[in-house]
Structures are given as structure tokens and as C-alpha cells.
């Protein structure tokens, strides 16, 4: 029962973070400034973190024990919680790069990926998890 509650509580945080990410993405599209870009990247990092951890908790609830993000992503794809495992792996890689080193070219490329690929992948996972509430 604790695992059931845990993934649902984490989902609520993931839900709020995803809403904030979508809001920042819209703002960044409308007014591209350094501040908006930094906010978008920060919101992406936070949302991705909550996303994979919510998937981990859901997998735990289902009896699949994994702990590292890459393992969680692989199992989430295997168990059809997510549709695009490659995008999730790329999100993980970009999150790792953006969290440790600021490179303007990599940040710009990540921003494009956030808009084009990452938000849709996060929304898909959100939809799957929401359907299980």
C-alpha cells in the first residue's frame, strides 16, 4: 500500500512540474531571452527528474525493482509505460550535460529538443500514469 501511495504522491509533483514546464516553454517561444531559456532548462531538469522517479515508483508498485535512471527508462519502455525509450535516454543525457556544464550551443540544442521531443514524451508518460490513478 505504501508503494501505491508513493507513486501517486510523486505523480502529483510530476503533474505540477510538467504544467510549469509547459508554461515556461510557451513563454520561451513567445519571448526568447536568456532568463526564459534558463527557466525552461531548469524546469526541464526538474520535470525529467520527477518523471523518471514517478516511473520508478510505478514500476516498484508493479513489482519491478530498478533504481538507476537508465534502468528505469529501459524497464518503463519494456513494460509500455513510455512509447519512445530513445527520447527518454536522450533526455537523460541532456539533463546530465546541462546539470554539470553550461555550454551555450548544447543548451540551445537542448531547448530545441525540449520543445520538439521532450515535452511530448513527458506528456505521453504523464497521460499513461494519469490513466492508472
Cβ-contact 71, 52 below 8 angstroms: no
What whole-number distance in Å separates Cα of residue 121 and Cα of residue 82? 8
Contacts of 11 (CB under 8 A, 6+ apart): 54, 129, 130, 133
C-alpha triplet 129, 37, 97: angle, nearest 5° = 70
Cβ-contact 98, 107 below 8 angstroms: yes
H-state helical runs in the chain: 2-30, 34-61, 69-78, 85-100, 104-113, 119-131
pLDDT (tens place) for every residue of the chain, 133 residues total: 676 799 999 999 999 999 999 999 999 988 888 899 999 999 999 999 999 999 999 999 999 999 999 999 999 999 999 999 999 999 999 999 988 777 888 889 999 999 999 999 999 999 999 999 9
Residues counted in the chain: 133
Give the right CATH number for 2-131 from 3.30.565.10, 1.10.3720.10, 1.20.120.330, 1.10.220.10. 1.20.120.330
Question: Phi first, then psi: what are they for 67, rounded to 5°?
Answer: -130, -40
Q: What are 131's three cell numbers?
A: 490513466
Amino acid at each position: 500500500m505504501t508503494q501505491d501511495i508513493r507513486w501517486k504522491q510523486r505523480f502529483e509533483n510530476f503533474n505540477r512540474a510538467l504544467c510549469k514546464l509547459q508554461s515556461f516553454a510557451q513563454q520561451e517561444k513567445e519571448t526568447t531571452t536568456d532568463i526564459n531559456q534558463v527557466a525552461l532548462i531548469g524546469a526541464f531538469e526538474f520535470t525529467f527528474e520527477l518523471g523518471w522517479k514517478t516511473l520508478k515508483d510505478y514500476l516498484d508498485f508493479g513489482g519491478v525493482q530498478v533504481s538507476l535512471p537508465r534502468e528505469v527508462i529501459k524497464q518503463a519502455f519494456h513494460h509500455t509505460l513510455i512509447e519512445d525509450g530513445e527520447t527518454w535516454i536522450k533526455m537523460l543525457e541532456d539533463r546530465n550535460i546541462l546539470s554539470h556544464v553550461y555550454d551555450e550551443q548544447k543548451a540551445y540544442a537542448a531547448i530545441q529538443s525540449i520543445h520538439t521531443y521532450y515535452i511530448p514524451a513527458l506528456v505521453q508518460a504523464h497521460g499513461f500514469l494519469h490513466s492508472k490513478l
